[in-house]
Amino acid sequence: MSPKQKKKLIILGSGFAAYGVIKKIDLDSYDVVNISPRNHFLFTPLLPSTTVGTIAFRSIIEPIRSLRKVRFFMGECLSIDHQNKKVKCLDKDSGEKFDMDYDYLIIGVGEITNTFGIEGVKKYAYFLRELSDARKIRVKIIDCFEDANLPGLSEDEIRDKLRFVICGGGPTGVEFAAELNDLLEEDIKKKYPGLLQYTEIILVDAAQKILSSFSQKLSEYAMKVFNRAKIDLKMNSIVTDVQKDCLTLKDGTIIKYSMLVWATGNTALPFVKDTPFEKDKNGKIITDNYFRVPGYDGIFAVGDCSEIKDKPLPATAQVAQREGYFIAKYLNKIAKGKECGPFRYKNLGMLAYIGSNKALADTPQFKGSGFNTWIFWRSAYLTKLVGLRNKIHVLFDWIMTSVFGRDLSNF
């Protein structure tokens, strides 16, 4: 098929869903353009590990431009002109706007963290969605210990500088708390002698238990591990206000912090909210079983920003990736004049790291916890990483951290 005969496919986003399409689409049948404010794919399941130096930042990214025959433009979509089949975009660096035509459009822009209308969250809290977020968190953690190590401080002043609060008891919040506790026990204890006794990790969540999407037995096991690690769990706690160095709970409790990481639920991007498509109560774009947006020819929505009508699926990387693979398969068959059945979801389970070389696995085949499950957790993610380069980097990082410890340089 010559380039003139190819249908133009624009993919918005570079997360698991969008990248899944890019990896599986037939580039001989489609002229593929990817538009995203991020010029790399990020393996988010291992993002918490980068915040404390267990894994290097470079190890979990795959540059989009390394993909041959895929044109990439770094920017974000402002609006969709569905009648003329155009997208209007913005280059965030230069501020210049540009339009692009499409035959097929795939919206895979994901979501953003929900701040629940609490104004201080955006101003004072750290998020954990992008590599830049992880880098900021890492720098802040080291700054906290350097500040607490200065002479002449009282014990109360030291404690205030070493109180880390995490809002959110889902996988992101729990895994970050686990990685942070590993850092304390394995590296801070050696390199900042005397400070460990003043350090606190507090995890706040509105639910009754952490990792509520896991089985009750596994969730309770995770809570026991955290309790043994002296991570303070404040369940059934709703944050109502966030200030520069403290937050307030619904019951009036005030918690001081040196660093606040906000890892609560997600919400739709303003761009998605502004689209004319039908949406669910959470602002996700409603699609059919093929991820087509009803009433809008050639437009698909996939991943966390979408939901199949009356069939909500977990907002996980695994689900988003499989949705992306399906759309690529569907479009590939269309190009060849073949039929394709609807998307069928098969639950492959969930994994979570809970610290101290322990993990959880909640899958249809088995439910596991502890050290052996941690080995399984590492093996599973190692195989899921994109590209041989990333697999080698992550394996090397794990070995180096195990042998030499984490690098606590502030850079």
The better pLDDT of the pair 357, 68 is held by: 357
Question: What percentage of the chain carries pLDDT values higher than 90?
Answer: 93
Could you read off the pLDDT of 64-123 as tens digits, one per residue?
998 889 999 999 999 999 999 999 999 988 889 999 999 999 999 999 999 999 999 999
The better pLDDT of the pair 95, 202 is held by: 202
- Report the run of H or E that residue 323 belongs to, with start and end: helix 317-335
- pLDDT at residue 5 in the model: 79
pLDDT band at 371 (very low <50, low <70, confident <90, very high): very high
CA distance linking residue 167 with residue 235, whole number of Å: 10
Q: Is the pLDDT assigned to residue 368 strictly greater than 90?
A: yes
Segment 308-336 shows an average pLDDT of 95
Q: Is the pLDDT assigned to residue 411 strictly greater than 90?
A: no
The better pLDDT of the pair 338, 410 is held by: 338
Query: Tokens for 165?
Result: 């609060």
Q: Check: CB of residue 60 under 8 Å from CB of residue 47.
A: yes
Q: Is the pLDDT assigned to residue 161 strictly greater than 60?
A: yes
What global pTM score does this model have? 0.95
CA distance linking residue 277 with residue 109, whole number of Å: 15
Q: How close are the terminal C-alpha atoms of the chain, in Å?
A: 49
Question: Coil, strand, or helix at residue 202?
Answer: strand
CATH number listed for the domain at residues 119-265: 3.50.50.100
- Does 3-37+75-111+268-335 match 119-265 in CATH topology? yes
Q: Check: CB of residue 223 under 8 Å from CB of residue 229.
A: no
Query: What's the angle, vertex CA 217, arms to CA 211 and CA 220, rounded to 5?
Result: 55
Fold of the 3-37+75-111+268-335 domain: FAD/NAD(P)-binding domain (3.50.50)
Segment 263-269 shows an average pLDDT of 94
CA distance linking residue 113 with residue 266, whole number of Å: 4
Question: Coil, strand, or helix at residue 190?
Answer: helix
Task: Please count the other Cβ atoms lying within 10 Å of the Cβ belonging to residue 25.
Answer: 25
- pLDDT at residue 4 in the model: 56
CA 131, chain centre distance (Å):
10
Could you read off the pLDDT of 22-80 as tens digits, one per residue?
999 999 999 999 999 999 999 999 999 999 999 999 999 999 998 889 999 999 999 99
Q: Which residue has the tokens 């006794």?
A: 197
Count CA within 13 A, CB hemisphere, residue 321. 15
The domain ranges of the chain are 3-37+75-111+268-335, 119-265
Alpha helices in 125-204 (DSSP H): 131-148, 155-161, 171-183, 189-191
Q: Check: CB of residue 166 under 8 Å from CB of residue 121.
A: no
- pLDDT at residue 92 in the model: 81
- pLDDT at residue 1 in the model: 47
